[in-house]
Amino acid sequence: MDNELKTRMSPSLALLTIAEMLRAEHTVILENENIEKIRFDEKTDLVCITVTVDVLPRAAAIAAEYKKRNVPVIAGGIHVSCDPENCAEYFDSVCTGMAEDTLPQMIEDLQNGRLKKIYRSSHSGNTQLVSPGYALADRSKYLYTNIVSTSRGCPYCCDFCYNSCEAYKNLYITRTTSDILNDIKTLKTKHIMFIDDNFIGNSERTRELLRAIKPLRLKWNADVSANIGAMPELLDEMREAGCESLFIGFESLNANALKNVHKGQNKTKKYDALVREIHKRGIMINASFVFGLDGDDETTFGTTLDWIVKNKIETVTSHILTPYPGTRLYEEFASQGRITDFDLSKYNTAHVVYRPLNMTAEQLSAGYLKLYKEIYSFKNIIKRMPVSKRQWLPYLTFNLLYRKFGTFTEWLCALIGFQRIGRFAQWVSYHIK
């Protein structure tokens, strides 16, 4: 499932935000090793790297290359924020949480020769969130650049999520509506991907934003928590404002498994009703599931597949449970001696790095791969076809060109350009009636 389409999906908002913070006073060069080689010998005074857990080994190797050249390297990002002490050995300095809270001080200290090893975000509710420097992104290298964040953090702290670590616990800050509208204006598109951890973390703020974007006649998608089912009026407003699809972390059909990881906002008995409420408004669903929770066994995969097909879930994103360092889940598994692999490059939710309770690691891995294969079989793609004919083309575009034949689409993108394919997908998404 992880081909070049995923790495070319969009530029990093983290790097674009940092660049926007610095470029008024400094020359900023953006590099993304997913799509181009790093120019190590290019003259530079400072290197900043944003780090997720599975790329920490590579980030450390990059830092070592710059150390040979006597160039200081600072690192931040979601993994560094959750495990700063263990990450600090690889870099000259690391920061946790929001760059707006830490980077200005880090730059000042570097210039004055007093750079500290660790800087921690204050998580102040008064922090002014910075808009990304969209103009700095080379749009020709990506499928999309129409990505907007309306908030930081999430009100919930599920054990397996980064939001359960100290740096993000209780962090939920929303951006001003005017800033969000300016971002949309800058992007010059009618199709927007809102990529918040939880678009409805503050429902009143969400309503304010929906009323502001409704006149723009956008088509958009967002990530919401499963308790959206208890907010029918908000769902109505979302649809009226142009919502086309929602990413929802269902995670599991097993209530006890969810309880064990403190996912209390998910009520499995209400899942069917939730899907009906969303579908009857003509909104598609991208359902996320996590396999390998302590309540799971080998039957979990078949039960989940049956539910997905029965409810005509338009697309599914599956994960193998992964104990990210710094999360409550990692602390629990480490204390129980259940972590079996410490190679962080495998911590990408596609490998089993711990000992499951009710099945073997091999059974968990095989079940995960088989489920993906079954979901995107021709038979089940047809069975899951949306009732609304206006959704057929975007549905088939995603299920076939991205999921089932992603390798072919990757080749096609390399031949005629990722941006062109992205534009085609956008055209499909908001020109089909």
**Per-residue tens of pLDDT for the chain, all 433 residues:** 556 777 788 899 999 999 999 999 999 999 999 888 999 999 999 999 999 999 999 999 999 999 999 999 999 999 999 999 999 999 999 999 999 999 999 999 999 999 999 999 887 667 788 999 999 998 888 888 899 999 998 888 888 888 888 888 878 889 999 999 999 999 998 889 999 999 999 999 999 999 999 999 999 999 999 999 999 999 999 999 999 999 999 999 988 888 888 787 788 889 999 999 999 999 999 999 999 999 999 999 999 999 999 999 999 999 999 999 999 999 999 999 999 999 999 999 999 999 999 999 999 999 999 999 999 999 999 999 998 888 888 898 889 888 888 888 888 888 888 878 777 776 766 555 5
How far is it, in rounded angstroms, from Cα 255 to Cα 154?
Answer: 21
φ, ψ for residue 57, nearest 5 deg: -55, -40
Neighbours of 333 (CB within 10 A): 19
Give me the CATH code for the 147-384 domain, please: 3.20.20.70
Q: How far apart are CA 237 and CA 214, in angstroms?
A: 9
Domain ranges of the chain: 4-120, 147-384, 385-433
The backbone torsions φ and ψ at residue 302, rounded to the nearest 5 degrees and listed phi first, read -65, -40
Q: How far apart are CA 240 and CA 236, in angstroms?
A: 6
pLDDT at 1: 54
Whether domain 4-120 has CATH 3.50.50.60: the reply is no
What pTM, to 2 d.p., does this model score?
0.91
Residues in the chain: 433
CA-wise closest residue to 220 among 426, 14, 5: 426
Range 188-191 contact pairs with CB under 8 angstroms and sequence separation of 24 or more: 189/146, 189/426, 190/216, 190/217, 190/218, 190/219, 190/430, 191/146, 191/218, 191/219, 191/220, 191/426, 191/429, 191/430
